[in-house]
Structure 1
Amino acid sequence: MTGTTRGPNDPRRRERILDAALDVIAEHGAIKVTFRKIAAAADVPLGSLTYYFDDMQHLLTEAFTRLAESVSTRYGALLAAAHTPEEAREAVVEIICGKVWGTDRNLLLSYELYAFAARHPELRTVMHSWMQASRTSLAAHFDPLTARALDALVEGFSIHNSVDPRPTDRADVAAIVGAVIDRPKSKD
């Protein structure tokens, strides 16, 4: 029987379910996720899912929130470590070219979140919170419009570079980031 290896007071069960949900989403896509698949992947009884989550929407929202917070933490840490404008510029390049996503799986999961949120408005709050966290991290170093542009640049390059057979190299990314940062500012 599934879940028999876990004791009744398993303190990590909820987190294991969320991690398993992300694994199942990465493997099958958010649209094909079921409680049964998640329970099997988490090695918990099916009833555990309904104990912790009201419905699939609640579970997916929590799982995607977990993903967003994980990536935002790495993103924010790179920018928080920057103490000069040049270090901030390099942090943005590293976010684009490095492993801020952690794994290709996390990048795939972010695509799933974008697509799922487009059809499920309640998940847009997860996307909005994620974007706000990114922009807040950027705003420590850049004006609001530049922070917004850099956030869009990070998202766009991440998507393009993950599927392009010839991703934009680091030097070109640095030049583009520099062009956004050094653009003439409006006089308003």
Structure 2
Amino acid sequence: MSAARPRTAATARPRATAPARPRAAAPARRARRYDPGRKDRLVATALDVIAEQGVAGASHRTIARAADVPLGSTTYHFASIDELLAAAFTRHAETVAARLEEGMRAARGRKAAVEFLVEHLSADLLGSARDLVLSVELYVAAARRPALRAVTQAWMLRSRRALELHFDPVTARELDALIEGLVLHSALSTEPMTAEQIRHAIRRFTR
């Protein structure tokens, strides 16, 4: 029997090598949409959601869906739902307060101021079902949420400053409370006061 020949590099059977696996393509990154007005739109959409569903129906998810933005956008811009609600209600309050300030500055005398208040209540505060609902939702929510109470307090102070253009501070404060009461009365009553009844109440109060 002949001795086995030693295995050399020339005679060794080459090992089969597995074909290289193609590298999986990296998932394409979704282009980030340039949306500089997103935060502003979230605030506006929050007001729409509150007007339609109330504060109880306003959540990060609901508002994000209505604004057509990712859910993370709401938590990126607003740390909590209370912060988003405060921003939304602040916008509403500032819009209403600005109309009051403009009218009171334009009024020439106390009698004209009273007539403007009647128009402001009848047309601005009570004439818009949306604004009326938003105001009532704010009043109710502020009773439970300190962050929103700060919004109502700032609104009241701004309103009183506007009223003080034609009335003394005590009267301005009481008149502001009367206006808020008339808003709630009109929202809850099945027979809200007419413009003439509002005029009579304000004239009687400011004699």
Judge same fold: TM > 0.5, yes or no.
yes
Question: TM-score normalised to the size of structure 1?
Answer: 0.87
User: Which of 36, 61, 71 is residue 36 of structure 1 equivalent to?
Assistant: 61
1:46 alignment partner AA: L
Change in Cα spacing, 1:155 to 1:118, as seen in structure 2 (3 Å) is same
Q: Secondary structure at the match of 2:108?
A: coil
1:12 corresponds to 2:51? no
Contact 1:74–1:100 under 8 Å retained in 2: no
Q: Are residue 94 (structure 1) and residue 119 (structure 2) matched?
A: yes
Query: 1:102–1:17: structure 2 CA closer, same or farther, 3 Å change rule?
Result: farther
Counterpart CA distance in 2 for 1:180 and 1:70 is: 26
Kept after mapping to 2: 8 A contact 1:17/1:39: yes
SS in 2 for 1:98: helix
**Aligned sequence identity (%):** 43
The runs of 4+ residues in structure 1 deviating greater than 6 Å are: none
Count of residue pairs brought into register by the alignment: 178
Shift of 1:122: 2.1
CA distance in 1, matches of 2:126, 2:40: 19
TM-score w.r.t. the length of structure 2 is: 0.79
RMSD (Å), alpha carbons: 2.0
Query: Structure 2 unaligned runs (5+)?
Result: 1-29
1:87-118: CA deviations, max 9, x gaps? 11111111222224672112111111111111
Structure (1/2) with the larger helix percentage: 1
Pick from 164, 177, 182: which aligns with 1:157? Answer: 182
- Give the Cα–Cα distance (whole angstroms) in 2 for the partners of residues 147 and 134 of structure 1: 8
User: One-letter code of the match for 2:144?
Assistant: R
Contact conserved, 1:71 with 1:101, CA < 8 A, in 2?
no
